[in-house]
Structure 1
Amino acid sequence: MTTPPPESTQKFDPSRAAEYQVQSRIALAGYDACHELSACMLAATLGPGRPAQVLVVGAGGGAQEIVSAGALEPQWRFTAVDPSQPMLDLALERLREHELLERTEMRLGYVEDLPLEPRFDAATLIGVLHHLPGDAAKRAILDAVATRLKPGAPLILAGNRYAYASEPLLLAAWGERWRMFGAAPEEVQAKLGKILQGADPPRSEAEVAGLLDGAGFDAPSWFFSSLFWGACIARRRV
């Protein structure tokens, strides 16, 4: 299998997986809304009620991409790929709970491990890009996704898209979000320190657009924002 930067995979260990469902919804205000709108954007692009094969990259954790899209579009089928076994185990539990396992192929590994054919009708890359250190790793995963999509196929890309230290007000508001959910002041500072050291988001929406362009996608359309987080849709160029 292709080997990613080890720190981007190892941090999603069993302890992280166990707390993911709760912590992700605190860290991202509008977590469920983002996933629901992502499904709606894909359906609006592909056409409602049509069969589709959807690639879900980084599906481990709650598999919320599949839960939301699977409820909206009963004819969609999914290939879910994630390099973390604990996170993939959690996704399996949720998909079983929502009766979506029969419509989902689960793969432990990386996008680069998938065959180039048949190509997918759409893809999602949600909450992944900012965990990859450096532009080279970001370009590599976008290239790998693009080569597995049909021409004109849409990609939902979502994640943090500003350098954290460049937006002190957003960072402070993020701390207040944790305080709102019961974190003590020292815990808030610890979380903010971990955020500053633990991820490498693109530095702007323009940089995201440049990464997408380099991988062969058209200009993105942004449809969701929550502090540092943003979600957009872009089509693979024909």
Structure 2
Amino acid sequence: MRNEELKDLFDQQAAGYDKQWAGMAPIRDALYLLLDSLFAGLPENARILCVGVGTGAELAHLAERFPGWHFTAVDPSAAMLDICRQRATEGGFLPRCNFHQGYLDTLPAEPSHDGATCFLVSQFLLEPQARIAFFHEIARRLEPGAILANADLASDVESPAYEALLRSWMTLMSSAGVPPEALQRARAAYARDVAILPAQQVAGLIQAAGFEAPVQFFQAGLMHGWFCTLTPGISRPCDRTQSI
């Protein structure tokens, strides 16, 4: 799916997005619980880059948990970012937020962040080199030693395990109240617009962008989460595609 198509899709879904996925909140909350422990050692005045922030769920969680932190919220969807801004206003942490509508490559490349979140974003980049370049753009905006927490759908789609996990994942979404039309869109997207790769391969793409070897800290069905630190002296992505 091209950038503009993806932006238009999320613009259309923004108003009902949180309600549509409310039933999946236990998975999100488990991810955030572990995220707290990963980020606990960051400075009291840390700056956090939230890539593809959407309606701002993880930003709101971190803002409440760490009241001295400041956030850069990046998303190409103006509609999503408007809801994120409203959430920040209602939560009282708007002054700690900087909102940037656009893709990451339009954000000034200053290594000024102590950590970054990127949840269910890179999976929409179908080409491995584009995915490496995306993670490298994150790296360029982080301080040396900063922590990246990333989550994506991952599996070996050629294996019997994927079919079993996919059935279970769809059943889970259905029981969580996700509408049938949304389930149909998701199943079609997984086959056409989402790069679902083996977990080890996703970790390799992140490492190829200049991060230390990612550590998987989370899995719930098809969703996997990794954390890693930025290698000091990162300047450009390494060409490791032959080994990925």
Question: Which TM-score tier does this pair reach, normalised by the shorter chain?
Answer: 0.7 to 0.9
8 A Cα contact 1:39 1:68, kept in partner = no
* Whole-angstrom distance in 1 between the partners of 2:223 and 2:206: 17
Deviations 1:159-204 (A, max 9, x none): 21225564011111122113324568x7586245334345323411
Q: Which residue of 1 aligns with 2:188?
A: 194
Deviations 1:58-103 (A, max 9, x none): 1122x11211111111111001111001111111121112111110
Q: Which runs of 4+ in 1 moved over 4 A?
A: 163-166, 186-189
Structure 2 counterpart of 1:217, from 201, 208, 211: 211
* CA shift for structure 1 position 32: 2.2
Gaps of 5+ in 1: none
Gaps of 5+ in 2: 233-244
* Distance change in 2, residues 1:121/1:169 (3 Å): same
Q: Which residue of 2 aligns with 1:39?
A: 36
* CA shift for structure 1 position 145: 0.5
Under a length normalisation based on structure 1, what TM-score does the superposition of the two structures give?
Answer: 0.86
What letter corresponds to residue 30 of structure 1 in structure 2? Answer: I
* Distance change in 2, residues 1:25/1:40 (3 Å): farther
Structure 2 counterpart of 1:77, from 48, 70, 75: 70
Deviations 1:11-59 (A, max 9, x none): 2123x11221133344575112212322331124x26xx2111111111
What letter corresponds to residue 60 of structure 1 in structure 2? Answer: G
Q: Which residue of 2 aligns with 1:110?
A: 103
Structure 2 counterpart of 1:98, from 88, 91, 94: 91
Q: What is the percentage of aligned positions where both structures have the same residue?
A: 31
* Distance change in 2, residues 1:82/1:160 (3 Å): same
Q: Which residue of 2 aligns with 1:19?
A: 16
SS in 2 for 1:97: helix
SS in 2 for 1:116: coil
SS in 1 for 2:231: coil
8 A Cα contact 1:35 1:64, kept in partner = no
* Distance change in 2, residues 1:76/1:59 (3 Å): same
Under a length normalisation based on structure 2, what TM-score does the superposition of the two structures give?
Answer: 0.84
* Whole-angstrom distance in 2 between the partners of 1:95 and 1:220: 30
SS in 2 for 1:125: strand
Q: Which residue of 1 aligns with 2:151?
A: 158
How many residues end up aligned between the 2 structures?
229
* Distance change in 2, residues 1:29/1:138 (3 Å): farther
8 A Cα contact 1:225 1:231, kept in partner = yes
SS in 2 for 1:154: strand
Aligned-residue Cα RMSD (Å) equals 2.3
Q: Which residue of 1 aligns with 2:240?
A: none
Structure 2 counterpart of 1:127, from 117, 120, 133: 120
